[in-house]
Amino acid sequence: MSPRPFGARLVTAVSERGPLCVGVDPHPALLESWGLAQDVGGLERFALTAVEALAGTVSVIKPQSAFFEAHGSRGVAVLERVIAESRQAGALVLLDVKRGDIGSTMSAYANAYLDDSSPLAADAVTLSPFLGFGSLEPALSLAERTGRGVFVLARTSNPEALPVQTAALDGDGRSIAQAMVDEAAARNSGADPLGSVGLVVGATVGRTGLDFSQVNGPLLAPGIGAQGASGADLRTVFGDQIAHVLPTTSRDVLRHGPGVSEVRSAALRASAAIAASLRV
């Protein structure tokens, strides 16, 4: 029997737990604020405390791979535990890796994060399409076969991205960001209740002129809380596609640690506030 697609599993998770994704970002400043050492022991304590607080509560956990990789093989081993224990507690895991490459290298990345046999396999990953959307095909195909999802960068909030993502395609007139939106829409066409190819669009970018009406997939919106965006900003960015938005926050929840109950309570408050702002 074919695995249940990520898009359908996400719809179920959001209906049961609310529309919030919380990042597990073991940033050095957060470790310091929790009174933890800047080593793999501190990393493990921070990350597994976050899992204990969040994985039974929120719909999606989003570990930022770079902070684990910075500690070498032992840090990656902690990331493997975060993925496994979060999924065991019922959360979907979106691994934030932003990989993008070509040919056999892209296939190797796909196998690392989307193949059933890999200890790093998550429910979904973030991908960078700026070598061309077609370069992501190994990951797109493997994700479809294994019931996993991908979130493709489209319009990010960092200022350096603006001239690239808003540039017009030759002979087309669409922006590069709109082309990424349209490619995702094509992959999701006919999916019910929701496609498994999502987009990453910053919650702080304001009015973009992008047309999300045909995407039929999840819209990951980082930037809630510490980066300055609120639930109200999501309507400005996404318009009438607000029901498909998955807002994400990290520091605004994790700063309440190191107590498990305090972090969990912060996540529940954030989820309730986001749910109220997203009601159509």
- As a whole number, the mean pLDDT across the chain is 95
Q: Residue 280: inside a domain, yes or no? A: no
Question: Would you state the pLDDT for residue 206?
Answer: 92
The pTM of this model reads 0.96
Whether 228 has a pLDDT exceeding 80, the answer reads no
Q: Residue 1: inside a domain, yes or no? A: no
How many structural domains compose the chain?
Answer: 1
Q: Residue 34: inside a domain, yes or no? A: yes
Question: Would you state the pLDDT for residue 171?
Answer: 81
pLDDT bracket for residue 226 (50, 70, 90): low
CATH code of 40's domain = 3.20.20.70
pLDDT bracket for residue 280 (50, 70, 90): low
Residues identified as active-site = 98
By residue range, what is the domain housing residue 43?
A: 6-275
Q: Which of 19, 83, 8, 75 is nearest to 51 (CA)?
A: 83
